[in-house]
Structure 1
Amino acid sequence: MRHWFRSYWAEEHTWFYFEVDADGWVNRQVELQGPRQEPLAAASLVEWQAAQAAGTLADYERVFGATADVPVQEWEGHEPHDLTAEEFETVWLTARTACQAGARHRSTGGG
């Protein structure tokens, strides 16, 4: 069963949004930084694994980032705030769009 939550990392002024499976592994992850909540990542484990297998991992991570590489049970110091699937999807879709737009902007020499 999937579970959705968010957690704030004060040192980096970053909100992390997670979709995790029943074993605590992150399926999808969003990172939003600063007061404007700028998307830094919107990564999918399945996509990340496919990119790794295809030899395009660097390209994938340049656009979407990566997911956490340990189950959430092993994390220390985070205070999870539960989310509904709908709340997560709203953040996910917005962050994905922003990550893709940023990648297009960088590829055209705009930044």
Structure 2
Amino acid sequence: MCCYWDEEDTWFYFEVDAEDRVIRQVELEGPELTPVAAASLAEWLRACDTDRLDEYDSRFGITTDVPVSEWEGHDPEQLTSEEFEEIWNSARREIAARPS
């Protein structure tokens, strides 16, 4: 699913699991849709376990910890898994190519 927050001029793209938890999240800012986050909950948890959380957060960001079913005032648009994967892959490539 995706949502647009006009106060921040940011598009948020989410992949959720069966319990409505965000498992992957992409954030694209501004008119150029610059990727500022492309975070995976599974990667974030691994980074936690290996004491690399700061490194992961500074590079890829974090996923929201509030289940989608608890969101108020948001009307997300649904995406296909293929649409999400295209956005995810593009954002990850761009973020990973940046100097650390």
- Unaligned runs of 5+ residues in structure 2 are none
Q: CA deviation at 1:54?
A: 0.7
Which has the greater radius of gyration?
A: 1
8 Å contact from structure 1 (residues 30, 39) kept in 2:
yes
| Corresponding position of 1:7 | 3
CA RMSD, aligned part only? 0.8
Report how many residues are paired.
100
**TM-score of the two chains, using structure 1 as the length reference:** 0.87
CA distance in 1 between counterparts of 2:95 and 2:73 reads 28
Does 2:70 align with 1:87?
Answer: no
| Corresponding position of 2:69 | 73
Percent identity between the aligned chains? 56
The residue type paired with residue 53 of structure 2 is L
Q: CA deviation at 1:32?
A: 0.3
Q: CA deviation at 1:98?
A: 1.0
| Corresponding position of 1:45 | 41
CA distance in 1 between counterparts of 2:69 and 2:79 reads 18
The residue type paired with residue 41 of structure 1 is A
**TM-score of the two chains, using structure 2 as the length reference:** 0.96
8 Å contact from structure 1 (residues 29, 67) kept in 2:
yes
Does 2:48 align with 1:28?
Answer: no
Q: CA deviation at 1:77?
A: 1.7
Structure with bigger helix share is: 1
- Unaligned runs of 5+ residues in structure 1 are none
